[in-house]
């Protein structure tokens, strides 16, 4: 049975990296999947921070105005990084994207649909043709997005969506945990927080979705709704599912988890069960 399971590639979301999947990867490997992760350009080993992020004493005014070293990273670079890894993997791949990682898996499906077995959006941005992420961020269903109070700078000024994962302020840390990791233990939250980077390239949020029915639409797609997510509300998740299905004339298969924004951290076995269903 194990030898017949497909390869799985896990793509992280904004401010995260391959460490996102530290609980999921062993479970997938044990279940017989060829499970891979990567750091997207601008994340993980490729993350670069403004000097003010690590300077002490920390100056929030400088941090709010210093240009981002990551401002020129594009979605095309991220798409190419994932395609390159897929080309090294065996068979057709189940491509999983979390949160803003949905932008990348959509672009990859448009680029190489023949190499994919399925797409899985984990409370991720799944945008219909011509819609830029920034338009989704401003949609009425995202009005209470819990990331907004975490933003530390004007994206138009610094070239990035900027948060402060290194903050020692207890209030800010509580907001971060409540936004991303509501269900997580304090230890899991501390571990994940330590791995985050501060800047997501703002330009990526301005690039409109370029998916087509002919290419992207030829790949089976699944959406995992996270029912207690405070970043992408259920209304926002349902809007994206409905908008994509309406635009393409095909149906997204929907799965529900009673989870916050980060099921890979607090509910890894429940997430594994859904991925097993997708694979089989």
Residues 157-183 pLDDT 10s: 999 999 999 999 999 999 999 999 999
Q: Is the pTM of this model over 0.95?
A: yes
DSSP code per residue over 172-226:
HHHHHHHHH-TTS-HHHHHHHHHH--SEEEGGGGGSPP---TTTGGGSEEEEEEE
**Confidence check: pLDDT of 108 > 90:** yes
Mean pLDDT over all residues of the chain? 96
Q: What is the pLDDT of residue 169?
A: 96
**Confidence check: pLDDT of 3 > 80:** no
Domain positions in the chain: 2-279
Q: How far apart are the first and last CA of the chain?
A: 10
Instruction: State the Cα–Cα distance between residues 38 and 105, nearest whole angstrom.
Output: 13
Residues 110-153 pLDDT 10s: 999 999 999 999 999 999 999 999 999 999 999 999 999 999 99
Residues 205-224 pLDDT 10s: 999 999 999 999 999 999 99
**Confidence check: pLDDT of 256 > 80:** yes
Mean pLDDT of the region 10-35: 97
Question: Going by C-beta distance under 8 Å and a sequence separation of 6 or more, which residues neighbour residue 148?
Answer: none
Query: What percent of the chain stands above pLDDT 90?
Result: 96
Mean pLDDT of the region 28-35: 95
Q: What is the pLDDT of residue 1?
A: 41
Q: What is the pLDDT of residue 2?
A: 47
Architecture of domain 2-279: 3-Layer(aba) Sandwich (3.40)
Q: Which residues pair with 10 in a beta bridge?
A: 37, 96
Mean pLDDT of the region 79-89: 97
Mean pLDDT of the region 88-106: 96
Residues 261-274 pLDDT 10s: 999 999 999 999 99
Cα 270 → chain centroid: 18
């Amino acid at each position: 049975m194990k030898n017949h399971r497909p390869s799985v590639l896990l793509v992280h979301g904004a401010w995260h990296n391959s460490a996102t999947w530290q609980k999921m990867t062993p479970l997938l490997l044990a279940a017989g999947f060829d499970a891979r992760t990567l750091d997207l350009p601008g994340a993980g080993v490729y993350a670069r921070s403004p000097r003010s992020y690590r300077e002490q004493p920390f100056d929030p005014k400088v941090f709010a105005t210093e240009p981002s070293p990551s401002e020129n990273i594009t979605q095309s670079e991220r798409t190419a990084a994932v395609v390159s890894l897929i080309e090294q993997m065996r068979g057709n791949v189940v491509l999983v994207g979390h949160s803003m990682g949905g932008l990348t898996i959509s672009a990859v499906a448009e680029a190489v649909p023949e190499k994919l077995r399925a797409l899985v959006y984990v409370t991720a941005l799944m945008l219909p043709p011509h819609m830029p992420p920034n338009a989704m961020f401003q949609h009425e269903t995202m009005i209470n997005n819990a990331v907004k109070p975490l933003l530390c700078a004007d994206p138009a000024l610094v070239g990035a969506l900027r948060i402060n994962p290194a903050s020692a302020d207890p209030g800010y840390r509580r907001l971060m945990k409540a936004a991303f990791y509501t269900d997580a233990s304090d230890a899991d939250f501390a571990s994940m927080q330590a791995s985050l980077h501060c800047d997501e390239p703002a330009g990526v949020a301005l690039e409109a979705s370029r998916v087509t029915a002919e290419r992207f639409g030829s790949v089976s797609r699944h959406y995992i709704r996270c029912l207690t997510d405070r970043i992408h509300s259920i209304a926002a998740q349902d809007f994206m599912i409905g908008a994509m299905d309406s635009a393409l004339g095909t149906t997204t298969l929907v799965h529900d988890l009673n989870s916050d924004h980060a099921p890979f951290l607090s509910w890894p076995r429940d997430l594994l069960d859904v991925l097993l269903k997708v694979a089989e």
